[in-house]
Amino acid sequence: MTYLVAGNQLTLLQNGEQFFPSLCADIAAAQLSVSLETYIFAADKIGRQVTLALQAAALRGVSVRLMLDGYGSAELPAEWVDELRVAGVEVLWFRKEISPFTLRPNRMRRLRRLHRKLAVIDAAVAYVGGINIIDDVPVEADFTAPRLDYTVRVQGEMARVIQAPMLHLWSVVSWALLQRRSRLARKEAARLPRTPELSLLLRDNLRHRRDIELAYLTAVAKAQHEIIIANAYFLPGRIFRRALLQARRRGVRVVLLLQGRVEYRIQHFATRALYGKLLEGGIEIHEYQASHMHAKVAVIDGVWATVGSSNIDPLSLLLAREANLLVRDSSFAQGLRDSLNQAIQQDGKEIAHNEWQRMGWRARLVCRLSLAVIRVVMAVLGYGKF
């Protein structure tokens, strides 16, 4: 479904089966430029499709730039990168050095990852969302459904707004690697407009440290009827949890669609340690069962919606570079709401409060210990209480 918002055409794409054909078609139609940022670029059939599309564009004279995160894409074979560069694709790595367990202060910056998933073609079409370049049907034998995830295709002037931070980051990383700094990036970042109905929310460690989190908190504080949040790695701090509980006390329906399958054990059980107080406060919790859930989206009062790369957890809100699209439009918000409600009804398992109270002490202990581990790590990193 395509929606007209502030003069831009927005298409909500669910899962890779809708996203990858659309992305590759736009790359194939590119005449001037293609820019792509991703956390994970996998060496699988989807990675090959996108690689071939980028190579073909570069070979016909299109300027193609690809930025990869040094941790998330660490397993991409060097031969694939060489093929891209031989075809004329410019490839940069964001923090190629990887030291996730080195916590000395002068090395903590290595934990700051490029987690956003953005693409811009000819400064006319853009993509903002949470889908990595990877086959989204997990390899586990009992999974037949794809990861639940979303991306928005944007056609219009907003594509130039989305391109600006990409050009800026390319310039910064190029400078750090002693390559040529782009004057275009500095000019574009300074002069592009935004609209009240449609805006790009960024999270970085300088000017936009809390933009995404504050946008959520502001919308939650103003909510009157309903809050639906679908988030793959949900581990909010005390302020965020308090805001949700306060909304529920005002009579707002609060619905969380969270990960039901264990993907990262400590994170999964730490999230479950929060269930007790949330359920006691009247918040509905549904766990997605069909596959892994990778969505980072929300709809509030059927008017406010966001789709992007930012989880509601310490890594996304305190460390990683993220990008979310904020849409204030009832038609778009209703389309996303319908999709989330369908996922909840078909593939969600509601966690009842009385069921949670009956959980054994060993399971409760695992959850509490997992949360304690994450709190200790965040304290060591110097990010205070969470």
Q: Does residue 359 have a pLDDT over 70?
A: yes
Pick the last residue of a domain from 174, 198, 222: 198
Residue 386 lies in a domain: no
Shared-domain flag, residues 172 and 226: no
Residue with tokens 């030291």: 99
Q: How far is CA 94 from its chain centroid?
A: 17
Shared-domain flag, residues 317 and 363: yes
Residue 187 lies in a domain: yes
Shared-domain flag, residues 358 and 264: yes
Q: Does residue 106 have a pLDDT over 60?
A: no
Residue with tokens 């590119």: 30
Pick the last residue of a domain from 147, 175, 198: 198
Shared-domain flag, residues 165 and 272: no
pLDDT at 358: 74
Residue 204 lies in a domain: no
Q: How far is CA 15 from its chain centroid?
A: 13
Q: Does residue 254 have a pLDDT over 90?
A: yes
pLDDT at 354: 80
Largest CA distance in the chain: 63
The stretch 341-359 carries a mean pLDDT of 88
Instruction: Give residue 282's domain range.
Output: 211-380
Helices (H), 88-237: 158-176, 183-191, 211-222
Residue 165 lies in a domain: yes
pLDDT at 381: 65
Shared-domain flag, residues 147 and 217: no
Total domains, the chain: 2
Strands (DSSP E) along the chain, which ranges? 2-5, 8-14, 33-38, 63-69, 90-94, 117-121, 125-129, 150-155, 198-203, 226-231, 253-259, 284-288, 296-300, 304-308, 322-328, 348-350
Question: Can you say whether the dihedral through the CA atoms of 182, 187, 190, 192 is positive or negative?
Answer: negative
Shared-domain flag, residues 194 and 232: no
- Residue 385's pLDDT band (cuts 50, 70, 90): low
Question: What is the DSSP secondary structure assignment for residue 105, as one 8-state letter?
Answer: G
Secondary structure (3-state) at 255: strand
Residue 266 lies in a domain: yes
Shared-domain flag, residues 316 and 278: yes
Residue 385 lies in a domain: no
pLDDT at 188: 45
How far apart CA 219 and CA 243 sit, in angstroms, is 10
- Residue 341's pLDDT band (cuts 50, 70, 90): very high
Span 191-221, pLDDT tens digits = 445 678 999 999 988 788 899 999 999 999 9
What is the pTM (predicted TM-score) of this model? 0.92
The stretch 257-279 carries a mean pLDDT of 88
Secondary structure (3-state) at 54: helix
Question: What is the DSSP secondary structure assignment for residue 148, as one 8-state letter?
Answer: B
Question: What is the DSSP secondary structure assignment for residue 1, as one 8-state letter?
Answer: -
Question: Can you say whether the dihedral through the CA atoms of 292, 295, 298, 304 is positive or negative?
Answer: negative
Pick the last residue of a domain from 138, 166, 198: 198
Structure-block tokens of residue 329: 């439009």
Task: Please tell me the chain's helix, strand, coil percentages from 3-state DSSP, rounded to the nearest 5.
Answer: 40, 25, 35
- Residue 319's pLDDT band (cuts 50, 70, 90): confident
Q: Phi, psi (5° rounding) for residue 276?
A: -55, -55
Residue 206 lies in a domain: no
Lowest mean pLDDT among 117-126, 198-207, 237-246: 198-207
The stretch 333-343 carries a mean pLDDT of 97
How far apart CA 234 and CA 139 sit, in angstroms, is 23
CATH of the domain at 21: 3.30.870.10
8 A C-beta contact, residue 172 and residue 321: no
pLDDT at 141: 61
Lowest mean pLDDT among 78-82, 266-270, 287-291: 266-270
Shared-domain flag, residues 140 and 10: yes
* Burial profile 280-302: b = 16 or more Cβ within 10 angstroms, e = fewer: ebebbbbbbebbbbbbbbbbbbe
Shared-domain flag, residues 217 and 361: yes
Which has the closest alpha carbon to 38: 102, 98, 120? 120
pLDDT at 382: 61
State the Cα torsion 82-63-192-304 to the nearest 10°.
-60
Residue 44 lies in a domain: yes
Which has the closest alpha carbon to 326: 161, 205, 181? 161
- Residue 265's pLDDT band (cuts 50, 70, 90): confident
Shared-domain flag, residues 365 and 228: yes
pLDDT at 189: 44
How far apart CA 56 and CA 62 sit, in angstroms, is 9
Span 215-240, pLDDT tens digits = 999 999 999 999 999 999 999 999 99
Shared-domain flag, residues 374 and 267: yes
Q: Give the list of residues 6+ apart from residue 24 with CB closer than 8 angstroms, or none.
A: 49, 50, 53
Q: Give the list of residues 6+ apart from residue 273 with CB closer than 8 angstroms, or none.
A: 367, 368, 370, 371
Say which residue, 182 or 282, is predicted with more confidence. 282
Span 19-75, pLDDT tens digits = 999 999 999 999 999 999 999 999 999 999 999 999 999 999 999 999 999 999 999
The stretch 365-386 carries a mean pLDDT of 75
Please give the positions annotated as active site. Answer: 115, 117, 122, 294, 296, 301
8 A C-beta contact, residue 351 and residue 285: yes
Structure-block tokens of residue 229: 């949040």
pLDDT at 127: 98
Structure-block tokens of residue 314: 């310490």
Span 134-192, pLDDT tens digits = 998 877 667 778 899 999 999 999 999 999 999 999 999 988 776 655 554 444 444 44
pLDDT at 225: 98
8 A C-beta contact, residue 145 and residue 119: no
Shared-domain flag, residues 141 and 222: no
Question: What is the DSSP secondary structure assignment for residue 382, as one 8-state letter?
Answer: T
